């Protein structure tokens, strides 16, 4: 990860004014702005959204004023303490939304199709591809329903995970569905299920007074303050700030924020993937719910061999998706093993897991699958019993046919032997004559 910081900072120094989504074409940005403005009422309105002001100068006084203004606006983001801590309901938040529309995504194909649409892959050079694919969407505005003013919302972030999930930060619902359904689904998705699209969302608010992010309820508090560990010699009271150092600080803070978003997004994507499996298992139970009742009434299970094999395969597929072919049951994905420990990304991942009860849900899902396995075992036993009964019937039929054939042959020979002109009668007469002559 040290190479991550060095490469990103070197690029920031060479071109500190570079936009993280500069490769997007002017046409795409104009279309994105028009689309967001036009769909201000139609698309999902972000909950209590507010845009942060952008500094127009790199001088120290403007920086201090910016920090002071942001601190004043964010001073009461969190109210209360301990278990009573909660986010101020007056604080305007933005949306974090996770979409699960496929079993897996081929991230190499996803990268190609997104670049063809004008998006830049991994704009902050996190070097986490192909474990996650990050692109940014252009700036957009939302019209305030109260004042009627246009509020700039800034750029949005999109994270694509191999598990088949896409997580968006500050992206309009219409654009998110366009990315998931029209761009990624046709080529990058493997075993896509748009008909069973699962969506989960949280809210987030940026807090420039915090270095460490956290989650309270269903709201992520994203700490955007520069880490003192990165720049221990920075003093806000000095008369002037070196532009080179400020560019480094700003770039590293942006990368820290992106990595924090990846950690939160990975956990939210995990929850969304788990929700898909929960829905699949619920559908499985809907088709087998009559079996326990039928058994309790002493009736026979009248299911075809095809039905029993199909239900067994469905259950094995769900169990494999949970325990074998994904990182759902891993305590920490491989994505975070190489991340700097001081960033606390694993803590962010675990916070979302606790907030969304992922551990409890995995345990419950496994218990429900154990019950489903018992039903499948009953079906397989019924299939085996039915097969054994059929074999017994065929054996009995064959024995009866053999007895009938032997009886027919015996009766036929007896009747033929009674006739005077039959071969057997002639042979007896010949033997008598021969024996009499001797």
Q: What digits encode the pLDDT tens for the residues 143-174?
A: 766 677 777 788 899 999 999 999 999 999 99
**What's the CA gap between 342 and 313, in Å, rounded?**
45
Of how many residues is the chain composed?
438
Token couple for 201? 């969302």
Backbone angles phi, psi at 272, to 5 degrees: -65, -40
Neighbours of 392 (CB within 10 A): 10
Q: Lowest-pLDDT range, 42-56, 65-79, 381-395? A: 42-56
176: nearest Cα among 96, 272, 264, 266? 96
Closest by CA position to 271, among listed 368, 355, 173, 186: 355
Q: Per-residue pLDDT tens for 16-35?
A: 334 433 334 334 444 444 44
pLDDT tens-digit series, residues 234-260: 444 454 456 677 777 888 888 999 999
pLDDT of 198 > 80? The answer is: yes
Phi, psi of 215 (to 5 degrees): -125, 130
Instruction: In whole angstroms, give the CA distance from residue 355 to residue 216.
Output: 8
User: Is the whole model's pTM more than 0.75, yes or no?
Assistant: no
């Amino acid at each position: 990860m040290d190479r991550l910081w060095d490469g990103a900072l070197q690029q920031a120094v060479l071109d500190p004014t570079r936009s993280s989504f500069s490769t997007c074409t002017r046409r795409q940005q104009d279309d994105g702005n028009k689309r967001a403005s036009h769909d201000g009422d139609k698309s999902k309105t972000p909950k209590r959204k507010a845009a942060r002001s952008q500094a127009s100068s790199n001088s120290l006084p403007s920086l201090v004023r910016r920090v002071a203004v942001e601190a004043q606006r964010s001073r009461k983001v969190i109210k209360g303490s301990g278990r009573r801590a909660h986010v101020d309901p007056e604080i305007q938040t933005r949306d974090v939304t996770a979409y699960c529309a496929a079993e897996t995504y081929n991230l190499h194909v996803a990268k190609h199709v997104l670049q063809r649409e004008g998006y830049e892959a991994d704009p902050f050079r996190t070097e986490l591809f192909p474990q996650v694919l990050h692109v940014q969407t252009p700036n957009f505005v939302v019209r305030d329903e109260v004042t009627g003013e246009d509020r700039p919302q800034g750029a949005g972030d999109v994270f694509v995970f191999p598990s088949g999930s896409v997580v968006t930060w500050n992206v309009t619902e219409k654009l998110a569905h366009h990315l998931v359904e029209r761009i990624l689904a046709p080529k990058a998705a493997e075993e896509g299920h748009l008909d069973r699209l699962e969506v989960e969302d949280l809210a987030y608010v940026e807090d420039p007074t915090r270095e460490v992010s956290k989650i309270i309820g269903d709201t992520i508090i994203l700490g955007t303050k520069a880490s003192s560990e990165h720049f221990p010699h920075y003093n806000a009271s000095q008369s002037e700030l070196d532009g080179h150092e400020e560019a480094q600080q700003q770039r590293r803070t942006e990368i820290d924020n992106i990595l924090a978003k990846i950690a939160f997004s990975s956990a939210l994507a995990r929850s969304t993937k788990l929700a898909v499996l929960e829905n699949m298992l619920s559908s499985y139970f809907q088709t087998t719910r009559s079996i326990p009742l039928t058994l309790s009434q002493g009736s026979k299970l009248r299911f075809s061999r095809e039905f029993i094999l199909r239900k067994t395969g469905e259950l094995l597929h769900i169990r494999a998706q949970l325990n074998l072919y994904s990182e759902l049951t891993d305590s920490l994905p491989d994505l975070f093993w190489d991340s700097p420990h001081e960033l606390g990304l694993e803590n962010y991942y675990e916070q979302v897991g606790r907030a969304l009860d992922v551990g409890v849900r995995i345990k419950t899902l496994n218990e429900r699958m154990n019950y489903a396995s018992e039903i499948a075992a009953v079906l397989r036993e019924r299939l085996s019993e039915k097969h054994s009964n059929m074999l017994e019937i065929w054996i009995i039929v064959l024995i009866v046919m053999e007895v009938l054939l032997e009886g027919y042959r015996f009766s036929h020979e007896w009747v033929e032997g009674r006739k005077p002109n039959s071969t057997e009668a002639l042979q007896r007469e010949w033997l008598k004559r021969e024996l009499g002559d001797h």
